[in-house]
Structure 1
Amino acid sequence: MKRYKLDYQSPIGIIEIEGTDTAIYGINFSEREQLAHMPQQETPQVMLDCYKQLHEYFLGERFEFTFPYQFEGTNFQQAVWHALPHISYGKTASYKDIAIAIDNEKAVRAVGSANGKNNISIVVPCHRIIGSNGTLTGYGGGMWRKEWLLQHEQSHRAKMSKSTN
């Protein structure tokens, strides 16, 4: 199946979206300074939907994502990644919270490892995972981005409550 790429210029750098005609397989920060993958006539609708929804997220207008995405990883990694979207917008959880959520309370370190391998940033919100002591922990996109994303969500959380009432 053919893979496509599309770049989104976010307030915290270029995000590279990768997908097929039917699903998104990757949303990752790029360290490039120039956009390399622009929308083309053959760009699949799912890619354009992802782009639009990321834009709405960064405007503070979107709190959930509805386009299809597909995980590529072990069963354990997928269990962790399926648990992450259950952390509410603007909230945080610990590795232990996720380990408990997937019924594997002793797998805290493995949860941390799987979290670090998440390939669908923002949508599968690994940035919402913090240390059990409340401190920020590593983030593949850089700690400054993690901090920005958490502050962004917390500043728009009140808007989310109004839009769901």
Structure 2
Amino acid sequence: MFNAVIDAPFGKVGIRTGGEALREIVYLPAQTASVEPDGELAARAAAQIARYFEDADAGFDLPLAPLGTPFQRRVWDGICAIEAGEVLTYGELAKRIGSDSARAVGQACGDNPFPIVIPCHRVVSASGLGGFAHHGGEGFFRDVKRWLLAHECTTNRFELR
């Protein structure tokens, strides 16, 4: 059950809240039924995500639930430091946060409960686009990642594969 489900250029986005915090953002297929926000926080999250779809430079000021391990939170903080329109590889992000493991960084990216707000789509494989939300191969999730990167790209600094 979502507290809101909104339209996105690539399908839908589900929003879950709990207490005073955002608990999860989920990419959903277009045929998913929309759900009007059922509270102030869900409405705020829906509005901020919709604003991002119109303007890739829009920021977020949502209270996030304190989820994840200390390592995951380090990775997610590192992701938040990547500017819109820029990308890092899993290995580059690992070095930035003081880790030796690109694979562990990739796992933490896939475990991110707040995509878009914590823009894990900005982290790619050294050999291409990489997976997304623990989904490899072609399909819906990689198409979402491609859309998000293209939306943020103001110059042709990277090639979408």
Asked if Structure 1 and Structure 2 have the same fold, meaning a TM-score greater than 0.5 normalized by the shorter chain, the answer is yes
Indicate the residue corresponding to 2:132 in structure 1. Answer: 139
1:149 counterpart letter in structure 2: L
- What's the offset of the Cα at 1:21? 3.6
The gaps in structure 1 that reach 5 residues or longer are 157-165
Q: Secondary structure at the match of 1:9?
A: strand
Q: 2:119, 2:73 → 1: CA distance?
A: 13
The ranges of structure 1 where at least 4 consecutive aligned residues each deviate by more than 6 angstroms after the TM superposition are none
Q: Is the 1:9–1:35 contact (alpha carbons within 8 Å) kept by the matching residues of 2?
A: no
Q: 2:49 aligns with which of 26, 36, 54?
A: 54
Change in Cα spacing, 1:20 to 1:4, as seen in structure 2 (3 Å) is farther
Give the paired residue count: 149
Q: 1:95, 1:61 → 2: CA distance?
A: 22
TM-score normalized by structure 2? 0.83
Cα RMSD after superposing both structures? 2.0
The gaps in structure 2 that reach 5 residues or longer are 134-139, 156-161
Q: Is the 1:56–1:62 contact (alpha carbons within 8 Å) kept by the matching residues of 2?
A: no
Q: Which has more radius of gyration?
A: 1
TM-score normalized by structure 1? 0.81
Indicate the residue corresponding to 1:77 in structure 2. Answer: 72
Q: Is the 2:57–2:84 contact (alpha carbons within 8 Å) kept by the matching residues of 1?
A: no
1:131 counterpart letter in structure 2: S
